Structure formats: structure tokens, C-alpha cells
Copies of this chain bind each other. A is one copy, B any other.
């Protein structure tokens, strides 16, 4: 884990993500789901049931990613455009959208 004064200082940083509590709650649930799948594999549970759980984790990750993406676009991207750095912020946004596109 990086300490708050570590080297990534040139990256934008938020004192706290406005939606941080909701995002952390979702991530904690996802952590529990991953532990659940680990237990299913250890117990030798049926593959199809394990796969169904993995698909549920993917959906939960998609939802948290879309929440963060929406927050980022309304916040950072909009500010960047207003202060004249729009093209760079949009280029970066498109790179990350492509990671989540099929």
C-alpha cells in the first residue's frame, strides 16, 4: 500500500472520493464473493455453480466500474474540459472505456 506522501504525487488525487463509502461497501461485498468462490473450489463444489458465482462477481465489478467511470467523467473530465485540457482527459477516458468494452 502506498503511503500518502509516496511518489505518485503527479497523479490527480482526491481527499476522499465523494462516492467512496458506497464504492467501498460494494468492494467489501466483492471480496466476500471471491472468498466464497475460493471455499467452493476447496470443497470440490460443482463447476457450474462456481462459474455462476464468478459471473456474479463480474457483474458486481462492472457495476462498481460504471459508478467510478460516471463519477470520474462528471468530475475530473468535466473540470479538465472547462480549464482547457479536455482533449487529454478525453483521450485517457476513452482508453479506460475501451478496457471495459467487449
Residues of A participating in the B interface, judged by any CB pair closer than 8 Å:
1-2, 4, 8, 11-17, 20, 23-24, 27-28, 30-31, 34-52, 54-55, 57-58, 61-62, 64-66, 68-78, 81-82, 86-87, 90, 92-102
Using Cβ atoms and an 8 Å threshold, which residues of chain B touch A13?
43-46
| Contact call A70/B44, Cβ cutoff below 8 A | no
21 contacts between A and B (CB under 8 A): A1-B43, A27-B34, A27-B38, A30-B34, A31-B34, A47-B76, A48-B96, A51-B68, A51-B69, A51-B96, A54-B64, A54-B68, A55-B100, A58-B100, A61-B61, A66-B94, A73-B94, A74-B87, A78-B81, A81-B81, A82-B82
Copies of this chain, whole number: 4
In the complex, besides A2-B43, A66-B94, 12 extra interface pairs with C-beta distance below 8 angstroms are: A11-B45, A12-B46, A15-B44, A28-B38, A47-B69, A48-B95, A48-B96, A54-B65, A54-B68, A57-B61, A66-B98, A100-B100
